[in-house]
Structure 1
Amino acid sequence: MRTARAQNGFTLIELLIAIAVFVVMAAMAYGGLSSVISTRETVSAALDRSKTLQMSIWRMRGDIEQIVNRPIRDSFGDSQPALFGSPDIGLQFTRNGWRNPLGDIRSNLQRVAYRIDEDDNLVRAHWRVLDRAQDSAPVESVLFENVSNVEWRFLDSNREWQDRWPADASIGASLSGAPTPAGAGNYEPPLAVELRLTTPAWGDLRFLFMIPGAER
């Protein structure tokens, strides 16, 4: 009498159960991986914003804390103060310490300006020469995007804040190079410069920059 041979393998039901378990595990693994990728992208974006903020603060501090009392002549040949600023024109000044790694024949002084452009960005501009010609064009870079509010203030020798500088002069210049009716004069720099601005990424920001060498 013959005996039945044992059959090896999986039944259809067992295969279906195995596939279902694999699908559930794959879905769980994909959900976890997607969450990790999303978190990583969020962290990377936050780190990029933080890096941009730190670089912008470093750039402004390096500029403002090296202000020197050196007036210039603009592209119209008119004298401009070493530093002037107001709510409508922004801030413009002469700074020291312009690095020259290539050894070019030029001054180590640099004319710098901060203004709000037509896209509501806070822009830093600098010129390659101090006393400009009519074809002297600024080199610009964006520091903060979508600025909804910006305020400059200047601390005078009486420890009082002024919303324009020079505080006792009528400055009507623009950062594009239009002349100032008051002329350059002999205006000492303020003791400190304060900047307040508002952006969607950072909300309300306040920066205070001391000017070394200003009369205390």
Structure 2
Amino acid sequence: MAMPARQRGFTLIELLIAIAVFVVMAAMAYGGLSSVISTRETVTAALDRSKTLQMAVWRMRNDLEQIVNRPIRDSFGDSEPALYGSPDIGLQFTRNGWRNPLGDIRSNLQRVAYRIDEDNNLVRVHWRVLDRAQDSAPVESVLLEDVSNLEWRFLDSDREWQDRWPANSSIGAATSALQTPAGTIAASYDPPLAIELRVTTPTWGDLRLLFMVPGAEK
């Protein structure tokens, strides 16, 4: 009677070598996959930061290029110029083109301000009405985070840069000049030729943005 052929399996050493090769290949594959995921996350974060900056610049340009001559009254009934700015208060102005898709009964003009909040964020502020009452609450939205420096400059008719507007006058003097004997707001309006914004963030470093002002004499 013929004996069955003897079957030969893997030895322990061969199994250990195969396992070692598999572990090395798995480690290499994991390292490559981890690198791809990390690179993807880095690129996504960079794109998000770029999108945030682009949206902030677009929002500011859209506001500043629609400045109009419309002084307002604040919540205390005091007059404020159509546009004013200084290092301590930031920038505030009236703009046109406030969209109204729902057809609300309101003006298409909007009062807007830009300033730095207590968390060092560049904030856009707007009010739902032009001439405010004491209960008129501002609406705030953060445009850029972690801003270490913010400077506004204004180009006057002599092509000289000023750090406040109206140039060479305080806001109080500018607002009092808007008062008429009847207590209404005068239509005097002297906009700068251009407005420059210098902003510094850890992500983007020093940025310089220049905006032309409509209605200014070139």
- 2:209 pairs with 1:207: yes
Q: Which residue of 1 aligns with 2:93?
A: 93
Q: Which residue of 1 aligns with 2:183?
A: none
Distance 1:12 1:2 in 2: 30
Q: Which amino acid aligns with 1:70?
A: R
Whether contact under 8 Å (1:150, 1:195) holds in the other structure is: yes
Aligned residues: 208
What's the CA shift string for 1:89-131, capped at 9, x where partnerless?
1000000000011111100000000011111111100000000
Q: Which residue of 2 aligns with 1:151?
A: 151
Q: Which residue of 1 aligns with 2:75?
A: 75
Distance 1:39 1:168 in 2: 52
Q: Which amino acid aligns with 2:19?
A: I
Q: Which residue of 1 aligns with 2:197?
A: 195
- TM-fit CA distance, 1:8: 3.6
Distance 1:79 1:17 in 2: 86
Q: Which residue of 1 aligns with 2:57?
A: 57
What's the CA shift string for 1:163-196, capped at 9, x where partnerless?
000003212xxxxxxxx35415323111110000
Q: List gaps (5 residues or longer) in structure 1.
A: 172-179
Q: Which residue of 2 aligns with 1:30?
A: 30
What's the CA shift string for 1:48-105, capped at 9, x where partnerless?
0000000000000000010001100000000000000001110000000000111111
Q: Which residue of 2 aligns with 1:110?
A: 110
TM-score where L is the length of structure 2: 0.91
The percent of aligned pairs where both chains have the same amino acid is 84
Q: Which residue of 2 aligns with 1:174?
A: none
Q: Which residue of 2 aligns with 1:175?
A: none
Whether contact under 8 Å (2:81, 2:174) holds in the other structure is: no
Q: Which residue of 1 aligns with 2:48?
A: 48
Where in structure 2 are the equivalents of 1:130-169 lying within 5 Å?
130-169=130-169
- TM-fit CA distance, 1:10: 1.7
Please identify, of 62-71 and 141-150, the stretch whose mean Cα deviation from structure 2 is larger: 141-150
Whether contact under 8 Å (1:125, 1:138) holds in the other structure is: yes
Q: Which amino acid aligns with 2:169?
A: A
Does the residue aligned with 1:102 lie in a helix, a strand or coil?
coil
Whether contact under 8 Å (2:70, 2:81) holds in the other structure is: yes
Q: Which amino acid aligns with 1:66?
A: Q
Whether contact under 8 Å (1:154, 1:194) holds in the other structure is: yes
Distance 2:169 2:38 in 1: 54
- TM-fit CA distance, 1:212: 2.3
TM-score where L is the length of structure 1: 0.92
Does the residue aligned with 1:196 lie in a helix, a strand or coil?
strand
Q: Which amino acid aligns with 1:187?
A: Y
Whether contact under 8 Å (1:166, 1:187) holds in the other structure is: no
Runs of 4+ in structure 1 off by over 3 angstroms are 1-4
What's the CA shift string for 1:135-159, capped at 9, x where partnerless?
0011001111111111100011111
- Root mean square deviation of aligned Cα: 1.4
